[in-house]
A and B are shown apart, each in its own frame.
Chain A
Amino acid sequence: MNGKIKVFLGRFLLVCFLVIVFDQAVGRLLNHFYFKHEPVNHNSTTYVANYCDQQVLIFGSSRACYQYISNEIADKTKLTCFNAGVPGNYILYSYAMLKCVLKRYTPKVVVLDIMPDEFKFSQDNYDRLSILLPYYESHPEIREIIGLKSKYENLKLLSMIYPFNSFAIDIISRNLHTNKNEFRPDGQNGFIPLLDTINQPGDKFVNKDYENYKPDAELLMAYNSFIKECISHHIKLFVFISPILDTHLFKNNSIKIASNIALKNKIPFLDCTDQQEFKKKIFFKDFGHLNINGARLYTTEVIRQIKAQSYR
């Protein structure tokens, strides 16, 4: 029996050793090529975490990325501006990025664009934190946020490959520059314009859904912490909820909660979900995203708000 156990343990340890060797080798290779490419056009996360130095930063999801024209904000405010919004990533990601930025410098103005249902629980909010995994090693300040992904995340991160899980084709493509569609347009400072217009019959869109949910504690905490970090660093923070095409008969819970917290902390808060001037199809790519026409109009409003608050 003992002999058999030794044989088995010998085989097992050999496979474990080989896995560790391959993991280290492949992991280092992936790490090298992930961070090798030029950051600003290819990966906004790397740029914001490691390089950006703009005075105005815009955080949020696709609704930030497609709707805030950074160059126009820079022109009108005479401050440099970068749009750090990333599609499919919400308050947890924004908070992590803010923490990375604050490790290096303090921007003057931060705009946080949140979703009308920002605090509604969704497993996706946590799963999508995988975008931050490559930064786990070099940015200890965001480890706590990455830890929210799952309770075994720290264990998984013992692997050198795991942070680049599902990035292999992405890394190859970026380094070979074969697929340029994914890259952000040069000179737009993070903004990605949407050129199409919604193709939906009808003119008025009414949403009668009523959702009464308990806000997700982690998302709420991230929002609170985001505000507190900005206040403690004397950053002028603006919280905006950008326009949507359909009119909601019932206000989403998250809007009320976000507004109350902002009010309590004396943070300018603007909810554009009900603003009638935006409720036209020509301004939208789809129900939740302004196209370039809508983005121009909305950015003017954002600039007006920033200027009004800054000169107060």
Chain B
Amino acid sequence: MLFNSFQFVFFFIIVSTLFYAMPFKFRWLLLLTASCYFYMVYIPVYILILAFTITIDYFVGLFLETASVRYKKLLLVISIISNIGILGFFKYYNFFTENISFLINHLGYKAKLSSFSLILPIGLSFHTFQALSYIIEVYRGNQKAEKHFGIYALYVMFFPQLVAGPIERPQNILYQFYEKKVFDPDGISSGLKLMLRGFFKKLVIADRLAIYVNAVYNHPASNNGKSLIVATFFFAFQIYCDFSGYSDIAIGAAKVLGFKLVTNFNNPYLSRNVSEFWKRWHISLTTWFRDYLYIPLGGSRVSTAKVYLNILLVFLISGLWHGASWNFILWGGLNGLYLIFLKITRKFWPLFYRITYLEKIAWLKISLQMVVTTIFVCFSWVFFRANTMTDSFLIFKRMTLLKGELFAGGYTLQYCFLGIFILLLYEIKVEYFKKTFNLFNNSNYLIRNCSFALVIVAIIMLGVFDGGQFIYFQF
């Protein structure tokens, strides 16, 4: 079910009303049933895949608590293989067979490994990682195994974050299913406000930007450098608003029901370097990779060369997590290289700011850092968005051809800039002028409520209602 659909609005009103009307002991059942329905709206039969991994992980979790050290490792491997195996089959099988066939043919042998045309189960990468974090935490002894099968299933399937995160840790969410949630008008209002922010980001900004980006990126050979540069800049904000919009709706929906999910984005385009960007972007995934991959690999406690290798490896795997294509791997690798570059040059920058006197003009220094960071991030987004690897390099090549008119797409260009302007204005206010005049948290109830009413009106007036799915659903 799409968050940006009437179907979800009706579904959510019904579920929330029933949730508070129902006795506490049946609420988990209601949420689990609702989550199953939410998932089954796409391809109903895929619920069996989820049921399979949930059952395995539930029992592995139980056995992990009592098993000896030797068996613990075996159980962990069983769980990882079953989860990653399913993810690998659905998401990466074709990618690997195509590449192996290519390699074999390149070596002079003739081979064509068969491929499947299966639709990827929605949000498979997300709930796989969420299930893995449960098993790893139980294995490490940081989390007690969940005894209640229904509650464990709900941990994996909780509908607000089922298909695109945030990827939760068991310590943060499991105990909340045992808490009796009381009807809290303030909590519900703040949840609804968060959902509204998400809808604005998705409908007014992301889906509008998508019109321009798709028009240009689907025909890179017919567009000049100006249009390609603008489209790349737009894509940076499209994917941000699309995904953070989804996260806002997810966190808001959970909040309406009384649950607290982790923050997933923190104004990433106000970052002052790429390292900070990754601390503000898709936080639940970044911390997942940090805790379950980077640190076990040795983290920063190993030799410098090994640290760089670890960073690169983590980002390459992160790229592969996003999609089964060399484009995503290159995107991840490029971001890894950015971070390595930052680590290598970390002593140089304070000196540079001193020499250029930028240190004394703080606002200029910060602005320049933000602009440069955004440029580097945008550069890597080209690989992420381009339809093929060939397209990526064609886009870079054509970016230098600045002759010709900028593609406008009717008034799309104006709507896109307007959306980005509103977003940046809001985020700069939140980041740097928190205590100055506040519209949405104003003490005057009329100003406060008028602000929210105007956001709804702006969505109706400027939103794109024929837009598609959230980009991250495909992961």
Residues on A facing B (Cβ under 8 Å)? 1, 4-5, 7-8, 11, 14-15, 18-19, 21-23, 26, 30, 123, 127, 130, 150, 152, 155-156, 159, 161-162, 164-166, 168-170, 173, 182
Contacts and interface: CB of A to CB of B under 8 A. Distances in A.
Interface of B: 6, 182-185, 188-189, 410-411, 414-415, 418, 445, 449-450, 452-454, 456-457, 460-466
30 contacts: A1-B182, A1-B183, A4-B183, A4-B184, A4-B185, A8-B183, A11-B449, A14-B445, A15-B453, A18-B450, A19-B453, A21-B453, A22-B454, A22-B457, A23-B460, A150-B466, A152-B6, A161-B461, A162-B460, A164-B461, A165-B460, A165-B461, A165-B462, A165-B463, A165-B465, A166-B415, A166-B462, A166-B464, A169-B411, A173-B411
Contact of B457 (A5, A23, A173): A23
A168 B461 contact: yes
B464 A8 contact: no
A15 B185 contact: no
A19 B410 CA distance: 29
Contacts of B464: 166
A11 B189 contact: yes
Contacts of A23: 457, 460
A206 B272 CA distance: 53
Contacts of B463: 165
Contacts of A161: 457, 460-461
Contacts of A14: 445, 449
Contacts of B6: 152, 155
A161 B462 CA distance: 10
Contacts of B183: 1, 4-5, 8
A156 B157 CA distance: 31
A18 B463 CA distance: 19
B17 to A, nearest CB: 11
A21 B410 CA distance: 30
A3 B272 CA distance: 47
A161 B456 CA distance: 11
Kindly name the residue among B188, B450, B461 whose own CB sees the greatest number of chain A CB atoms within 10 A: B461
Q: Which 9 A-B pairs have the closest CB atoms?
A: A18-B453, A8-B185, A127-B466, A169-B411, A152-B6, A22-B457, A19-B453, A7-B185, A161-B460
Nearest to B10: A152
A18 B449 contact: yes
A11 to B, nearest CB: 6
A159 B460 contact: yes
Contacts of B457: 19, 22-23, 26, 161
A85 to B, nearest CB: 17
A169 B416 CA distance: 12
A152 B453 CA distance: 22
Kindly name the residue among B188, B449, B460 whose own CB sees the greatest number of chain A CB atoms within 10 A: B460
Contacts of A169: 411, 414-415, 418
Contacts of A156: 465
B423 to A, nearest CB: 17
Contacts of A123: 466
Contacts of B410: 170, 182
Contacts of A182: 410
A13 B454 CA distance: 15
Given A18-B450, A18-B453, A26 B189 contact: no
A19 B456 contact: yes
Contacts of A7: 185
A254 B450 CA distance: 52
A7 B411 CA distance: 43
Contacts of B452: 15, 18
Contacts of A11: 185, 189, 449
A153 to B, nearest CB: 10
A281 B453 CA distance: 55
B462 A22 contact: no
Given A152-B6, A165-B460, 14 more contacts: A4-B183, A4-B184, A8-B185, A11-B185, A15-B453, A18-B450, A155-B6, A162-B460, A165-B463, A166-B462, A166-B464, A169-B414, A170-B411, A173-B411
Contacts of A22: 453-454, 457
Kindly name the residue among A4, A15, A173 whose own CB sees the greatest number of chain B CB atoms within 10 A: A15
A14 B456 CA distance: 13
Contacts of B189: 8, 11
Contacts of B185: 4-5, 7-8, 11
A44 B450 CA distance: 37
Contacts of A159: 460
A180 to B, nearest CB: 14
A162 B465 CA distance: 10
A116 B185 CA distance: 58
B462 A8 contact: no
Kindly name the residue among B189, B410, B415, B457 whose own CB sees the greatest number of chain A CB atoms within 10 A: B457
A5 B189 CA distance: 12
Contact of B466 (A1, A8, A26, A130): A130
B426 to A, nearest CB: 19
Contacts of A30: 461
A162 B459 CA distance: 10
Contacts of A130: 466
Contacts of B182: 1
Contacts of B184: 4
A126 to B, nearest CB: 8
Contacts of B414: 169
A182 to B, nearest CB: 8
A170 B462 CA distance: 12
A164 B465 CA distance: 12
A215 to B, nearest CB: 22
Contacts of A1: 182-183
